[in-house]
């Protein structure tokens, strides 16, 4: 059994029309959401005993800021042995690319937390979690996988190289609005 955490970057700033997509930072709401979700990820780990063996993240500015703010929110600021493997392939990756990246991971890693983008993360959930009623949370993902959402999948595999469609159950899903209604849809900074 392997555990995969998926964490979508927080709400980004569209204010500078000249900025490249890769360079878009978080807006005020995104910074708040990233900190809040970092605390939630820590609390989830404390409640379930889940520790992340490796964190891999897109180096896009909004994903990097999300990762760093969430680490601070979780109490893993600089100097506390918090390491991230930045991988440009995650930036706007398709589900197929993300699956290939998962298959490259060392088998000694029991868990992995990936910080990235939609539609890739959402599509990865749809590919890995069968639509057979075994994971009721999948229906929520079908509605929307909003920014700063955190999901946990349990993969019925012994080796990362064995990742395949339908091998997972979605066991946890939390959106920022679940923790703070002010971070819900249609609400601005």
pLDDT score, position 11: 95
Residues 58-80 have pLDDT tens digits of 999 999 999 999 999 888 765 45
pLDDT score, position 14: 83
pLDDT at 117 over 50: yes
pLDDT score, position 185: 76
DSSP state letters, 102-141: HHTS-TT--EEEEEE-TTHHHHHHHHHS-SSSS-TTHHHH
83, burial (CB in 10 Å: exposed 0-12, middle 13-18, buried 19+): exposed
Domain 2-183: CATH architecture, name and number where available: 3-Layer(aba) Sandwich (3.40)
pLDDT at 44 over 70: yes
pLDDT score, position 189: 46
Closest CA to 141 of 133, 151, 132: 151
pLDDT at 183 over 50: yes
């Amino acid at each position: 059994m392997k555990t995969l955490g998926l964490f979508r970057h927080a709400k980004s700033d569209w204010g500078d029309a000249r900025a490249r997509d890769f360079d878009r930072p978080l807006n005020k709401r995104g910074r708040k959401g990233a900190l809040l979700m970092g605390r939630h990820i820590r609390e989830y780990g404390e409640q379930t005993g889940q520790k992340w063996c490796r964190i891999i993240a897109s180096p896009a500015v909004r994903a990097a800021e999300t990762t760093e703010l969430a680490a601070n929110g979780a109490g893993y600021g600089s100097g506390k042995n918090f390491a991230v493997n930045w991988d440009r392939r995650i930036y706007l990756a398709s589900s197929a690319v993300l699956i290939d990246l998962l298959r490259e991971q060392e088998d000694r890693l029991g868990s992995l937390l990936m910080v990235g983008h939609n539609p890739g993360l959402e599509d990865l959930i749809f590919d890995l979690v069968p639509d057979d009623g075994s994971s009721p949370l999948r229906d929520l993902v079908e509605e929307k996988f909003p920014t700063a959402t955190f999901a946990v999948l349990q993969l019925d595999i012994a080796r990362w190289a064995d990742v395949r469609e339908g091998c997972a159950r979605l066991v946890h899903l939390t959106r920022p609005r679940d923790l703070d209604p002010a971070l819900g849809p249609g609400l601005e900074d």
